[in-house]
Amino acid sequence: MTENLSKIIRELSEVYDSDSSDSYISLFLNKKSDRKFLDRRIRACRSVLKGDLLKNFNETIEIIEENIKKINGDNIAIFASKKHDFLNYVTLPIKLKNLLIVDSSPYIRPLARINDEWESFTLVLVSSNYAKIYSISLGRIKDTKKLTSDIMNKHKKGGCSQARFNRLRKGAISAFLSEVVESLQKISDKSIIIAGPGTAKNQFVDMLPKDIKEKVVDIIDINIDDEKKLLKESIYLISEREQRKSQEAAMQLKEEILKDGLAVYGFEETLNAVKNGQVELIIIEKDYKLRGWICENCQVVEEGNTSTCPYCGKKTSEVDVLEEILEFAERTDADIEFTDDEEIVNLGHIGGILRFK
């Protein structure tokens, strides 16, 4: 079940067990990898779980094992709980790092990072009589649309007939490019790359409505037959753009802090702001984890370790508190940017650009 990844992450972020029990299993698996990883993690979890938690774990693992066999694709992320009659999964075209997490909610951080680092975009290969529109997601072609037109070849005779012929030809080219523009308007990707030979691609860009033109991130001059080369180059361009975005986000955070502007940083400040819906953009160090606890009953998250919530007396669960911040960010429609920029390390590994103070 491969759907829009952002939609799946949002849905998973809203799922949790209010009893604070470790009732959800999140499995990220490369099916071609050695089976020993999964067996080892199952044994480890069984050794520390007891009673109803162990029963739910065993029954949930059975469900997961059954679905692993059924799901097509080598890289899968499965989220399941027998207790809550819950099952969701996504297949991915990129290799996953094997991971099995037992928690009070689905573990979304690997998916959120993939979604950030592999931006979906649209690639348009266009000439005066041929166009191909590619929708590219997670580094793979998701969909294509091909358009062609029988445009008359250039007229070489002189006189009035040549001028008339050229007017007709230009009109035919303009009509064809308008058809391509109309097709492109139906696609909502944030980034668009335009490519092709000669001047037709520039004419095409000039014809784009303002809101579509603002999404164009690059224009590539390339032969109409070099599709494989173009696909490789466009994915590289988007990857480079994503790296620049993460660096710019860290720099923007620093600038906002220096002028006492719309910014928070560090675990506590960022958590409070994101829970209040103030955060527009979360910026998080790629591989950093911070041990803490959550009370699903009252949604309190803090660093450290305690088995009982000091505010309501309910049982708590041990968590990566940055994962919990990501879940709050998804629920409040905040954008998420992962970075390895040194600035974010110095600011407490996480920060946020605010919508308001």
- Mean pLDDT, the chain, rounded, equals 87
CATH number reported for the structural domain that contains residue 182 in this entry: 3.30.420.60
> Could you tell me which of 41, 47, 49, 1 has the C-alpha nearest to residue 23?
49
Percentage above 70 pLDDT, the chain: 94
The confidence score (pLDDT) of residue 1 equals: 41
CA dist 276 and 269 (Å) reads: 11
CA dist 153 and 169 (Å) reads: 8
Q: Indicate whether 90 pLDDT > 80.
A: yes
The confidence score (pLDDT) of residue 153 equals: 57
Give 306's pLDDT tier (boundaries 50, 70, 90).
Answer: confident
Q: Is 78 in contact with 98 (CB distance < 8 Å)?
A: no
100, part of any domain: yes
- SS3 call for 246: helix
Answer yes or no: do 110 and 154 share one domain: no
Q: Using one digit for the tens of pLDDT, what is the confidence trace for 227-275?
A: 788 888 888 888 888 888 888 999 999 999 999 999 999 999 999 999 9
Q: Indicate whether 54 pLDDT > 70.
A: yes
The β-bridge relationship of strands 191-196 and 216-221 is: parallel
Angle (CA) 318-319-320 rounded to 5° is 145
237, part of any domain: no
Answer yes or no: do 198 and 178 share one domain: yes
Average pLDDT of 47-64? Answer: 93
230, part of any domain: no
Structural domain of residue 260, as residue ranges? Answer: 244-357
Q: Using one digit for the tens of pLDDT, what is the confidence trace for 99-118?
A: 999 988 899 999 999 888 88
Average pLDDT of 78-97? Answer: 91
CATH number reported for the structural domain that contains residue 72 in this entry: 3.30.960.10
> Could you tell me which of 324, 325, 300, 296 has the C-alpha nearest to residue 311?
300
Average pLDDT of 276-283? Answer: 95
Answer yes or no: do 210 and 264 share one domain: no
Q: Using one digit for the tens of pLDDT, what is the confidence trace for 197-210?
A: 888 899 999 999 99
Average pLDDT of 40-59? Answer: 93
Q: Is 73 in contact with 91 (CB distance < 8 Å)?
A: yes
The confidence score (pLDDT) of residue 224 equals: 79
The confidence score (pLDDT) of residue 106 equals: 94
The confidence score (pLDDT) of residue 187 equals: 81
**pTM (2 d.p.):** 0.78
- Reported in sequence order, the residue ranges of 72-179 that DSSP labels E, i.e. its strands, are 75-81, 86-92, 99-103, 121-126, 130-137, 140-148
Letter string b/e over residues 55-82, b meaning 16 or more CB atoms within 10 A of that residue's CB: ebbeebbebbeeeeeebeeebbbbbbbb
Q: What does the block give as tokens for 294?
A: 């959550």
For residue 14, give Cα distances in angstroms to 7, 18, 32, 107: 11, 12, 31, 11
Q: Indicate whether 154 pLDDT > 80.
A: no
* Percent of residues in the chain assigned helix, strand, coil, to nearest 5: 40, 25, 30
Answer yes or no: do 285 and 319 share one domain: yes
The confidence score (pLDDT) of residue 20 equals: 62
Range of lowest pLDDT (1-15, 151-165, 262-276, 338-352): 151-165
Q: Is 34 in contact with 64 (CB distance < 8 Å)?
A: no
